[in-house]
Amino acid sequence: MSQPEVTIIFNPRAGGNKQRFLSEILQHAGVKVELLQTTHPGHARELARKVRAHKRLFVAGGDGSLNEALNGLLDAQIDGHEVPPLGIVPLGTANVLAVEVGLNLRAKAIADYINNPGMVWVRPGVVNGRAFFLMVGMGADADTVDNVSLRLKRLIGKGAYVLEGLRSIFFPRHRDFEVCIGRENYRASGVIVTHAKHYGGAFVISDDASLTSNQLDVLLMPGNGIWALARYGLALTLNRLHKQSDVSLVRTERLTIKSHCGPAPLQIDGENAGKLPCEISLSPYPVRLMVPQDYDGLNKVTDADLA
């Protein structure tokens, strides 16, 4: 009997358990699938590491599970293995990567994508040894992720981030970061280092960032205090954060950041990821990301790549 060519790593805790939605998608797709269910945090990384290159690997979960699987694929490459392309079955709370690549979130559309994906090469970002697809943040957004209540997230989904975000604005912590890019040094109270055009799924934070670019866009926000943070928050919702006169945008492949205000948290793709200082760069190990056929990115995977 032939082995399934599609492997799905399923996080039953993502988005408050969407097993029924996953079944609906698989019914539409009509494809034979090897389903691997995670049993604990970090499991998606262990599972992804073992999936071999001839398969197509999808992660049925949110951005946290995708991040774990991405790190599993990089572990495998470091061990000298070829890795499968990675795709998204968006079952999470925010599904920021799915929105970034323009994946339609209806079951039938996801099934079509599973059966017939496009592919692009992505060099993931790496921060302190951990890979990421989308972005790293520090300042009010990392404080928000650090403090958001898991229980509230299960209860009201994305709204939990909005509430905690408002708390970070109206009860701001003093933040002072030193960002070193090449020979330049910058000071900022908030920094977003992004490979993605969108923030939180909906909002544009860079016109030129792209998952397939060989550079990261660095947004530097110098203002501290309620009024500056409220202005940045409002500008974000109007897709104008990167256009604020005091916000700088620098493109680079490598940077370091340290804190001058004590231990400050980092967020990676919306998950808490330890504290500063950090070194951020692009990974030398590219991965193939499965995207909708009409995804408008550079670096499409060609037949020559697969030969």
Ligand X SMILES: Nc1ncnc2c1ncn2[C@@H]1O[C@H](COP(=O)(O)OP(=O)(O)OP(=O)(O)O)[C@@H](O)[C@H]1O
Instruction: Name the site residues for ligand X (rule: CB under 6 A).
Output: 11-15, 38-43, 61-65, 68, 92-95, 270-271
- Minimum CB separation of residue 214 from ligand X in Å reads 26
Which residue, 19 or 116, is less far from ligand X as judged by CB? 19
Which residue, 71 or 224, is less far from ligand X as judged by CB? 71
Q: List Cβ neighbours of 208 (8 Å cut-off, separation of 6 or more).
A: 197, 217, 251
Which residue, 124 or 172, is less far from ligand X as judged by CB? 124
Q: Where are the alpha helices (DSSP H) in the chain?
A: 19-29, 43-50, 63-78, 96-100, 107-115, 140-147, 150-156, 159-170, 225-237, 303-306
Q: Which of 143, 85, 150 is nearest to 263 (CA)?
A: 143
Helix (H, G, I), strand (E, B) or coil at 196: coil
- Tell how many helices (H) and how many strands (E) occur in the chain: 10, 20
Q: Quick one: CA torsion of 203, 206, 207, 209, rounded to 10 degrees?
A: -120
Which residue, 65 or 259, is less far from ligand X as judged by CB? 65
- Minimum CB separation of residue 48 from ligand X in Å reads 12
Look-up of token digits 């860079």: 206
- Minimum CB separation of residue 186 from ligand X in Å reads 29
- Minimum CB separation of residue 12 from ligand X in Å reads 6
Which residue, 26 or 94, is less far from ligand X as judged by CB? 94
What single DSSP character describes residue 54?
Answer: T
- Minimum CB separation of residue 271 from ligand X in Å reads 6
Which residue, 21 or 186, is less far from ligand X as judged by CB? 21
Residue 42 identity:
G
Is the bond leading into 90 cis (omega within 30 degrees of zero)?
no
- Minimum CB separation of residue 228 from ligand X in Å reads 27
Which residue, 92 or 265, is less far from ligand X as judged by CB? 92
Q: Which residue is nearest to ligand X (CB)?
A: 62
- Minimum CB separation of residue 14 from ligand X in Å reads 3
In the β-sheet with 177-181, what is the strand arrangement from edge to edge?
130-132, 125-127, 278-282, 254-259, 177-181, 184-188
